[in-house]
Homo-oligomer: A and B are copies of this chain.
Amino acid sequence: MSLKITIADIANELNTTPATVSRALNDHPSISVKRKEIVREAAERLQYKRNKIASSLRLGQSGIIGVIIPSAEINFFGSVVHGIESIANKSGYNILIYQSNESSEHEAKGIETFLSARVDGIMVSIAKDTKEYSHFIAAKKSNIPIVFFDRANINLGINSVLIDDYKGAFIATQHLIEQGYKRIAHISGPSHLKIFNDRLQGYIGALKENNINVDGELIFQGDVSVEAGRSGIQHFLKLSNPPDALFAVEDFTALGAIKELKDNNISIPNDFGVIGFANEKFGEHITPTLSTIDQQTVQMGKESFLLLMQLMNDGQTNVAIDKNVILDPIPIFRNSSMRNLK
């Protein structure tokens, strides 16, 4: 049972004081080079590990960033966390993870936990069922830097990193138009969520820009799911004047649509073009390969952390900063919509 070595132990060993040892280990300029070496050698020899808790208490900062995600099981968020971690580590920060499981309550508890843990900053992607934002307001009041990523509420005065959903949807729809499809449908997501509404608007915007009539019949209220994709297509095929292309709100929705189209022996992309959104991994492995819009997940993680860093630094100088990062969506055109290639 090796007891933990402290700087006092080292000081003892070297007949000096904790203060000197502390300074030496922190590379303080007023300590002689020789002494620094001696101290470091002793620390090494005694297997000293700095007690970061004590250090944090004294310094008033923990070196920890709290990240709230809906679920680590969702690829997208794992990828963002990867982005965050990859650069946070280099800056000497560590990442505390909290899952909201799409629940507002858990989310609030996560904030609470982080505040208590005295994290130096918080990053959040808002839970789907969060409609009440007092926990964020509370966090803001206690002056802790906080950044939203991917899912934000822009009315709280909290900075955010998002991708441009409107633009992504616009590009996707424009692409279908350019491929010569004439009646382009959309399966949308839950409309109370901004990201999904933005995609709907992007779809509409592209149609208008091309002087194409927006037909309400061609907009199916769906969800992020294979089933919604199937239902949407079932609905569309019943129309007297059915569509010949689909911009789906998400890749899984697009996948369901493709399955249903295949079941109806409709040829993709010849008779029907499909494009999704998210760039899920399966997209390049299904037949036909799925056209989609990439959301730059890793980049999003990095940008979020950088923004948080700015907030943390500026917080010290009391300079308010208002910066929202909008990432460009990246179109990935594959076989499901590339009619010209066939």
Q: Which residues of A contact B (CB under 8 A)?
A: 1-2, 4, 47, 49-54, 56-57, 62, 64, 71-75, 77-79, 81-82, 85-86, 89, 94-99, 101, 112-113, 115-118, 138, 141-143, 255, 280-282, 285-287, 298
Give complex CA distance A50, B112 in Å: 10
Q: A52-B116, A82-B71, A142-B49 known; A89 and B98 CB under 8 Å?
A: yes
Q: Is the CB of B116 within 8 A of A51?
A: yes
Question: A298: which B residues are within 8 A, CB to CB?
Answer: 73
Give complex CA distance A39, B141 in Å: 22
Q: Is the CB of A72 within 8 A of B64?
A: no
Interface pairs (9), CB distance under 8 Å: A2-B141, A51-B118, A72-B72, A72-B81, A78-B81, A85-B97, A85-B99, A94-B98, A285-B285
Task: Give the one of A52, A64, A77, A101 with max B CB within 10 A.
Answer: A52
Q: A73-B79, A95-B96 known; A53 and B56 CB under 8 Å?
A: yes
Q: Is the CB of A49 within 8 A of B112?
A: yes
Give complex CA distance A50, B89 in Å: 27
Closest to A115 in B: B49
Question: A118: which B residues are within 8 A, CB to CB?
Answer: 51-53
Given contacts A94-B117, A255-B285, 9 further A-B contacts (CB under 8 A): A4-B142, A47-B141, A49-B116, A72-B82, A73-B82, A82-B99, A95-B96, A286-B286, A287-B287
Question: How many chain copies does the complex carry?
Answer: 2
CB distance from A41 to the nearest CB of B (A): 18
CB distance from A197 to the nearest CB of B (A): 27
Question: A113: which B residues are within 8 A, CB to CB?
Answer: 94
Question: A1: which B residues are within 8 A, CB to CB?
Answer: 143
Give complex CA distance A82, B79 in Å: 14
Task: Give the one of A56, A73, A79, A280 with max B CB within 10 A.
Answer: A73
Give complex CA distance A85, B101 in Å: 11
Q: Is the CB of A54 within 8 A of B52?
A: no
User: What are the nearest 9 A-B pairs in CB distance?
Assistant: A78-B78, A282-B282, A73-B82, A72-B82, A72-B81, A72-B78, A52-B116, A49-B115, A53-B57
The one of B2, B49, B54 in contact with A57, judged by C-beta atoms closer than 8 angstroms, is B54
Q: A53-B56, A116-B52 known; A64 and B97 CB under 8 Å?
A: no
CB distance from A72 to the nearest CB of B (A): 4
